[in-house]
A = this chain, B = another copy of it.
C-alpha cells in the first residue's frame, strides 16, 4: 500500500468513538509491517442491519492494509444463554450473513479470516490461562467487566458463565495473535479488563478500537427485545417499509435512527441519492453527501415522510442480495427453527 502513516491512522480511526491508546496505535503503524485486528460477534439472535456498521469499519481496516480476523464466538454465545446444541447452526448462519454483508459493501473477503471461537479456545493452554486469570480476578472485577452487554452477568439470577465471559474475551486477543481488538463501545469494560489483566499473565496489552453505538429506529438503542427498533437482514420489503414508516422521525430534528443509517451507511456506499417527491411538493431532491441532506432536514425543507420513503427504497435495495439468497434462508431456518 502506498499510504502514509497518517493516512493509515485516519482510515483505521475514522468514525470511531474511542481508541485506547492512540499513541500505541501510532507506534504500531509506524513500526510493524503487518498489523492484525479482530472483531468478534456471538452467534445469538438473527442479524440486523446494524451489522453493516462494524463491517464498514472492517472495510476501512482492509483498505489500511491490516490483516482482519472475524471471530464468531460460539462458546461465548453459549455463556450468554444460547443452547449448546444449536451453536454450529448459528455459526453457519452468521458466517454466511456476514460474508454477504461484506460482499454487499464490496469488501475483498480474500483478505480476511473467519475463526470459530471453540477452535481456538477449547484447548489445554487456553484453559490453563483462563484458570490463571480466575486466580487473579476478583469477583468484583469480573462483574464490573461483564456489567454491560453480557446478559448472564446481570439481573436477578447472575450465572457464573457471565463472570467467565470477559476473561475469555481477553484471552481471545492473545490466542488470535492480533495486535488490536475492534468492538462497539458497549464492550469498553471488557476491553479495559483485557488491557489490565493480560500483562499479569505475561501477554501484551492490545490496542482497543471502539465504534459508537448506533441509534435504533425507535428509542435510544437497537434492542432485540423491541421488534421495531431494527431491520433484519432477511426482512421482507413490506416489513422494511412498515418498520421505517413507524420509525421515530420528528421534522427538523436529525437525532434519529434513520439519519444514522444515512450518515454511517447509505451515504458511505453511494455517491448520489435522490429523494422522490411529487411535482406539487417541489419535485425530486438530489444529495451528494449527508451534510447537505441533514441541513435541508433541519431547515424543514425535507419532510419526514419523503425521507422515510427514500430510506425504505435504499434499504430494500441494500438488502436485495439477502432476500434473494436461498442459502441464507435455509441456514436461517436451520439456526432458528423457523422461516423469517
Contact = CB atoms under 8 A, between A and B. Distances in A.
A158 B131 contact: no
A137 interface: yes
A138 interface: yes
Copies of this chain per assembly: 2
A127 B122 contact: yes
Contacts of A139: 139, 158-160, 163
Interface stretch (A22-30, A36-44, A78-86, A289-297): A78-86
Interface string A131-143: 1111111111010
A159 B131 contact: no
Interface string A41-80: 0000000000000000000000000000000000100110
A138 B158 contact: yes
A263 B126 CA distance: 48
A134 B122 contact: no
Main secondary structure on A side of the interface with B: helix
B138 A157 contact: yes
Interface size class of A (residues with CB under 8 A): 20 to 34
A275 interface: no
A209 interface: no
A90 to B, nearest CB: 15
B132 A159 contact: no
Given A122-B128, A123-B124, A124-B123, A135 B167 contact: no
Given A135-B152, A135-B159, A136-B159, 14 more contacts: A75-B131, A78-B135, A126-B127, A127-B127, A134-B163, A137-B159, A138-B157, A138-B158, A138-B159, A139-B159, A142-B160, A160-B163, A163-B163, A164-B164
B159 A78 contact: no
A88 to B, nearest CB: 14
A17 to B, nearest CB: 29
